[in-house]
Amino acid sequence: MSTRGGGGGRVGGGDPLGGRGRGGPDVGGRGRGGLGGAGAAELGGRGGGGDPWGGRGRGGPDVGGRGRGGLGGAAGAAELGGRGATGGGDRGGAARGGRGHGGGPFHAPQPQPQPQAAGGRGGGYHVVAQGRGQVAAPAPAAVEALSGQMKTGMELSGAPPAGPSSSAPAHAPAAPVRGGGAAAPAYTGGQTAQAVAAPQGRLPPASSKAIVFPARPGYGTVGRKCRVRANHFVVQLADKEIYHYDVTITPESNSRARNRWIINELVKLYKQHMDGRMPVYDGRAGLYTAGPLPFNAKEFVLRLTNPDRANMGEKEYKVAIKDAAKLDMYSLKQFLAGRNRELPQDTIQALDIALRECPTTRYVSISRSFFSQQFGHGGEIGSGVECWRGYYQSLRPTQMGLSLNIDISATAFYKAQPVINFALEYLSVRDPSRRLSDQDRIKLKKALKGVRVVATHRHDMSLRYKITGLTSVPLKDLTFDQDGTRVSVVQYFKRQYNYHLKCIHWPCLQAGSDSRPIYLPMEVCDILEGQRYSRKLNERQVTSILKLACERPAQREHSILEVNLYISGLVVNRNNYGNDYYAKEFGIKLMNQLALVDARVLPPPMLKYHDSGREKECNPSIGQWNMNNKRFINGGLIKNWACVSFASRLHPNQISMFCDNLVGVCNNMGMQVNGRQCVDIVQARPDNLESALRSIHGQSAQVLAQQGVTGQQLELLIVVLPDVNASFFYGRVKRLCETELGVITQCCLPKNVQKGDRQYLQNLALKINVKVGGRNTVLKDALYRRIHLVTDLPTIIFGADVTHPAPGEDASPSIAAVVASMDWPEVSTYRCLVSSQGHRQEIIADLFTDAKDPQKPHGWGMIRHVGSWSELLMSFYTANGRCKPGRIIFYRDGVSEGQFSQVLLYEMDAIRKACASLQDGYLPPVTFVVVQKRHHTRLFPEDHRSRDLDRSGNILPGTVVDTKICHPSEFDFYLCSHSGIQGTSRPTHYHVLFDENHFTADALQTLTYSLCYTYARCTRSVSIVPPAYYAHLAAFRARHYLDDGLSDQEGSSAGSSLLRDHAVPVTRLPNVKENVQKFMFYC
């Protein structure tokens, strides 16, 4: 039996089991107008403060731009574009017509003393406004309340005019309404907006419950036609009535597994009350049946014993089941046919739960995947962790109807073994008799927190616990109070169980709560099977799991077909499980063939290199090329550089030869690098890293001063990392050099320095050139102004991403990064800004904010920032001869489908306000595209023996799909833009959420694919569009600024804290030095 500690605790085993909307800001949109009611905010103007172009005046009314006045009455409501009445309400700003175009200078906004009515150009969307202060994401309720008003803006500006296409779209979007000089009638509601924006028969009606994203403008026609197979299986539905019931369990439990157990026991005990129905349950509050239950509401009482506590003692549960709704199957059919724009999410969710019910009872369920060791192909990956295989399934609405997306999955699990064995393996400790260091104890505590174990010291019963921590003192010093006497845990186990504890110098496992902990010696506990290892994997584990999970396309397709046969019941698997009775109950039938989809292979773009090279242009082959006989289009200049080595096994001559060869390759490829380093090569110990870096920086400054050189500094530092733990020291080098010393660095592994082959040196040159301000290559069509909707007027392309800390790092913030192109029309050089924000917050908090914070002046934000940071729009303006962007294309990475509406509302608002704060009425048209890589759609060749494949057997780069498996009516497509190296290529999914530039399918698909050839770090087309890729790299780089290599330490942080929502401290990022930030230092 375990010992329970705490003040006068008792011995014995009690029950220790334990089993994200924010309101929106004021909005910058097209059109000005006041908003009535308390807390209302005007559209997109400035509310006081100075202006970088010399504008003056405080407290001026907010400025909108294109469109008309706002809405009076409701507090916090704001309208962004579309036609409407002039500014009503108590703070009406003037509505101005007109639209800013690229090429002209910015002009400071001027104060507008009186509300006026004027015409404008329609467009935009509606959002929630909550006055000044901290920008927040719109709450779901607010989104729903405003969605009826949003239809005008979304449909007018999101739907481009119909154009010619070889294949007509399912629904031609309505032409945009352009404003004239007179003010239009006041906006009165959803029906009026629908009548204006979507004439009958041209566009399906919009939902009153959700934002309507742009309709598909047609299907693409560019490229060579082909066919591919997708891992989507058509689902056929019988004509069944599905009923939804609300479930309330008392006492409440947060564990889905326990809730499922309770409901399963209820169905068994009260089967006669279910009228023969087989209900399916979501583990929370939703129960679904195919047909009605014989009651509208009923409460059941169950007395159950807990299997985790050896079935000792009964516990009473009350389960209330109440009729909630009959699901509308007709709306689902209309949506799938493209006749209704509202996604019937509740109906799809019910069918998805029905398909998941059977495998949930058989396998370990994690999110939408199911795992079991019985699927095979697993194995140990080190440090007490093993790989389990499984499969993913998700029911999706597509153009061919409902389809079940099935894919092969693999993830890490704790190995079922004694806890002490796990600890020895995890910490790489051989002698369990030695006391653990504090660092190892904290590391082990993080690894074991939340893990379920079973106690083995009692043979008469099996008791299970959930680990909540480790004791800070070793087992030999741990005592508890028993009948007024202090008894040690070691003595108690000897006397009570005749068990002699051996690892008494190690800490004790702790279960229960902090106020009443349960102490469990490690050696009497075993880790239970089937628990996912959610911590960050080390490099060796990642390599091992990739080897186990990697499958070529033909093998992966075969595995997916096998899983489908098991699911559909056509084959009885090795466990003798029969058919899926729940699917039959709900009338769901799964086809047994992968979907055959029409696709096209887009032609690769021509790349331009410098005319001094033998090859001035390049036509990539199968997504790749090389730098032989080519020179950078713009070679960087490096006058002052140095090298420092922390590798103990490399001889100084090897390092010197490597540096000479690297300089030679850089110069041959078009750079201008000084043949002599600024100071001699420095060799230092890894434990002396910081002082060595500071020393070489100081020495170089001293040398330049002695030479009488002014205005110059060390421009590049080559760093040879230590032989071991290189990733730890990499982070320290980047943090110190980029945020304190202001030096661009290029880190190299010792093994690569020793090898020093030409390919490696060329790859380094690609990175170094862009880090010092050069450009490797550009698109030929960009130079000749032949890229539609990019080269016709100044266009800025943004990429944005948010990265989150590894599981278990609960105190670490998320990192947001935004990059923007600086060189129009070539769009190949990107400047970045990074910011920390709340833990696992996906919406970018600091894209733009007007917060009255002394540390954040007016206009602080990542797109526009006045203060210590440069700002991206102004940087573009300066870099392009005082031309402001006339168009914005925004690629947003890392957003799941459930977050589309909130991210669009919040971040489009920030973009609008950033633009409007720069100049009165400056609101360039925006296209907002979500980039999704974390999905499970795979595309396979129609014939795996075809010659029309890449070397790995994957489909060719440039393969694009916008039919069948795509959304029934919205603007999305799958693009495989890279050549596979190993395994099965994953196409990237692009989904357009907002489009004022009226892209055609061909224009956006071709632009996106062409950009994939401009990635600076390699001579290959990459799998996601480079702006999003660069934002991803920048966010990960900024993580090093926080961690400083101390991520395994408890409570570690770097920099000052910044209080955000609900006064939660967020670690603030240190500023990147300006001479570093102006280049692509993150490459």
DSSP string, 716-751: EEEEE--SS-HHHHHHHHHHHIIIII---EEEE-HH
Q: What whole-number distance in Å separates Cα of residue 373 and Cα of residue 135?
A: 47
Burial 736-750 (b: 16+ CB within 10 A, else e): bbbbebbbbbbbbbb
Given a cut of 90, whether residue 116 has pLDDT beyond it is: no
* pLDDT number for residue 365: 94
Q: In the predicted model, what is the mean pLDDT of residues 824-843?
A: 94
Q: Do 896 and 1002 have their domain in common? A: yes
Q: Look at the block and give the residue holding tokens 């239009």.
A: 184
User: Which DSSP symbol is given to 585?
Assistant: H
Residue scoring higher pLDDT (144 or 34): 144
* 446-476 tens-digit pLDDT: 999 999 999 998 887 888 999 999 999 999 9
**Comparing C-alpha atoms, which of 967, 973, 889 is closest to residue 932?**
973
Q: 176 has which bridge partners?
A: none
Q: What whole-number distance in Å separates Cα of residue 526 and Cα of residue 873?
A: 58
Q: What whole-number distance in Å separates Cα of residue 55 and Cα of residue 103?
A: 20
Indicate the residue among 747, 771, 795 that finishes a domain: 771
Q: What whole-number distance in Å separates Cα of residue 648 and Cα of residue 476?
A: 42
**Comparing C-alpha atoms, which of 620, 592, 625, 622 is closest to residue 606?**
620
User: Using 50, 70 and 90 to split pLDDT, how confident is the model at 111?
Assistant: very low
Q: Do 278 and 406 have their domain in common? A: yes
Residues counted in the chain? 1083
Helix, strand, coil shares of the chain, percent, nearest 5, are 25, 25, 50
Q: Which CATH number characterizes residue 440's domain?
A: 2.170.260.10
Q: Which CATH number characterizes residue 844's domain?
A: 3.30.420.10
Is 802 domain-assigned? yes
Indicate the residue among 476, 502, 528 that finishes a domain: 528
* pLDDT number for residue 626: 95
Highest mean pLDDT among 55-59, 512-516, 813-817: 813-817
Beta strands in 374-516 (DSSP E): 379-382, 385-398, 401-414, 452-455, 463-474, 479-482, 485-488, 507-512
Helix (H, G, I), strand (E, B) or coil at 907: helix
Given a cut of 60, whether residue 15 has pLDDT beyond it is: no
Share of the chain above pLDDT 70, in %: 75
Cβ–Cβ < 8 Å for 37, 72: yes
Q: What whole-number distance in Å separates Cα of residue 771 and Cα of residue 394?
A: 42
User: Using 50, 70 and 90 to split pLDDT, how confident is the model at 192?
Assistant: very low
User: Using 50, 70 and 90 to split pLDDT, how confident is the model at 569?
Assistant: low
| Residue-range definition of the domain harbouring residue 482 | 417-528
User: Using 50, 70 and 90 to split pLDDT, how confident is the model at 16?
Assistant: very low
Q: Is the dihedral of CA 670, 674, 680, 686 positive or negative?
A: negative
Q: 39 has which bridge partners?
A: none
| pTM, entire model | 0.80
Residue scoring higher pLDDT (1022 or 514): 1022
Q: In the predicted model, what is the mean pLDDT of residues 31-55?
A: 35
Cβ–Cβ < 8 Å for 158, 191: no
Helix (H, G, I), strand (E, B) or coil at 59: coil
* 306-326 tens-digit pLDDT: 777 766 778 999 999 999 999
Poorest-pLDDT segment among 198-212, 560-574, 738-752, 769-783: 198-212
* pLDDT number for residue 378: 85
Q: Which long-range contacts (CB under 8 A, 24 or more apart) does 974-977 make?
A: 974/937, 974/939, 975/1005, 975/1008, 975/1009, 976/939, 976/1023, 977/623, 977/1008, 977/1009, 977/1012, 977/1021, 977/1022, 977/1023, 977/1024, 977/1025
Q: What whole-number distance in Å separates Cα of residue 248 and Cα of residue 271?
A: 19
Q: 454 has which bridge partners?
A: 464, 526
Q: What whole-number distance in Å separates Cα of residue 872 and Cα of residue 608?
A: 26
Cβ–Cβ < 8 Å for 34, 87: yes
User: Using 50, 70 and 90 to split pLDDT, how confident is the model at 1043?
Assistant: low
User: Which DSSP symbol is given to 229?
Assistant: E
Report the largest interatomic distance among the alpha carbons of the chain, rounded to a whole angstrom: 96
* pLDDT number for residue 106: 56
Is 429 domain-assigned? yes
Helix (H, G, I), strand (E, B) or coil at 141: helix
Helix (H, G, I), strand (E, B) or coil at 926: strand
* pLDDT number for residue 87: 36
Given a cut of 70, whether residue 1048 has pLDDT beyond it is: no
- Tell me how many helices (H) and strands (E) the chain has: 22, 44
Q: Do 546 and 581 have their domain in common? A: yes
Is 878 domain-assigned? yes
Share of the chain above pLDDT 90, in %: 60
Q: Do 284 and 307 have their domain in common? A: yes
Q: In the predicted model, what is the mean pLDDT of residues 1021-1046?
A: 89
Residue 213, C-beta contacts closer than 8 angstroms, at least 6 positions apart: 154, 158, 900, 904, 970, 971, 991, 992, 993, 994
Q: Do 912 and 994 have their domain in common? A: yes
Q: Do 438 and 391 have their domain in common? A: no
Burial 478-516 (b: 16+ CB within 10 A, else e): bbbbeeeeebbbbebbeeeeebebebbebbbbbbbeeee
Backbone Cα Rg of the chain:
31
Burial of 366 (0-12, 13-18, 19+ CB in 10 A): middle
End-to-end, the C-alpha distance of the chain in Å comes to 56
Dihedral (C-alpha) 658, 661, 667, 668: value to the nearest 10 degrees?
-140
Given a cut of 80, whether residue 1015 has pLDDT beyond it is: yes
User: Using 50, 70 and 90 to split pLDDT, how confident is the model at 52?
Assistant: very low
Q: Do 806 and 931 have their domain in common? A: yes
Q: Which two tokens stand for residue 118?
A: 């004027």
Is 440 domain-assigned? yes
Q: Which two tokens stand for residue 338?
A: 């493209």
Q: Do 573 and 560 have their domain in common? A: yes
* 64-97 tens-digit pLDDT: 333 333 333 333 333 333 333 333 333 333 333 3
Q: Which helix (H) or strand (E) holds 583?
A: helix 581-585
Q: Which two tokens stand for residue 229?
A: 């197979």
* 265-284 tens-digit pLDDT: 999 999 888 998 999 999 99
Residue scoring higher pLDDT (699 or 66): 699
Q: Do 745 and 640 have their domain in common? A: yes
Q: Which helix (H) or strand (E) holds 539?
A: helix 539-549
Q: In the predicted model, what is the mean pLDDT of residues 1031-1053?
A: 69
- For the chain, the domain total comes to 4
* 634-666 tens-digit pLDDT: 999 999 999 999 999 999 999 999 999 999 999
* pLDDT number for residue 920: 86
Q: What whole-number distance in Å separates Cα of residue 951 and Cα of residue 679?
A: 46
Given a cut of 90, whether residue 1075 has pLDDT beyond it is: yes
* 534-565 tens-digit pLDDT: 998 998 999 999 999 899 999 999 999 988 87
Alpha carbon distances (Å) from 836 to 1007, 1069, 1070 = 31, 6, 10
Q: Look at the block and give the residue holding tokens 């994939």.
A: 1012
Is 1032 domain-assigned? yes
* Number of C-beta neighbours around residue 1037 at 10 A: 22
Indicate the residue among 528, 557, 573 that finishes a domain: 528
Q: Do 585 and 673 have their domain in common? A: no
Q: Is the dihedral of CA 975, 977, 979, 981 positive or negative?
A: negative
User: Using 50, 70 and 90 to split pLDDT, how confident is the model at 861?
Assistant: low
User: Using 50, 70 and 90 to split pLDDT, how confident is the model at 433?
Assistant: confident
Q: What is the DSSP string of 192-210?
A: HHHHHHS-TTTSPPPPSSS
Q: Look at the block and give the residue holding tokens 């939703």.
A: 286
Which stretches of 26-173 are DSSP H helices?
140-158
Q: Do 434 and 367 have their domain in common? A: no
Burial of 8 (0-12, 13-18, 19+ CB in 10 A): exposed
Is 603 domain-assigned? no
Q: Which CATH number characterizes residue 700's domain?
A: 3.40.50.2300
Mean pLDDT of the chain: 80
Given a cut of 60, whether residue 41 has pLDDT beyond it is: no
User: Using 50, 70 and 90 to split pLDDT, how confident is the model at 701?
Assistant: very high
Q: What whole-number distance in Å separates Cα of residue 698 and Cα of residue 1064?
A: 39
Q: In the predicted model, what is the mean pLDDT of residues 209-233?
A: 91
* pLDDT number for residue 1064: 57
* Number of C-beta neighbours around residue 223 at 10 A: 18
Q: In the predicted model, what is the mean pLDDT of residues 1002-1016?
A: 98
Is 10 domain-assigned? no
Helices 1026-1043 and 726-736: angle between axes, nearest 10 degrees: 90
Is 331 domain-assigned? yes
Q: Which two tokens stand for residue 310?
A: 């050896």
Q: Do 305 and 246 have their domain in common? A: yes
* 893-929 tens-digit pLDDT: 989 998 999 999 999 999 998 888 888 889 999 999 9
* pLDDT number for residue 104: 52
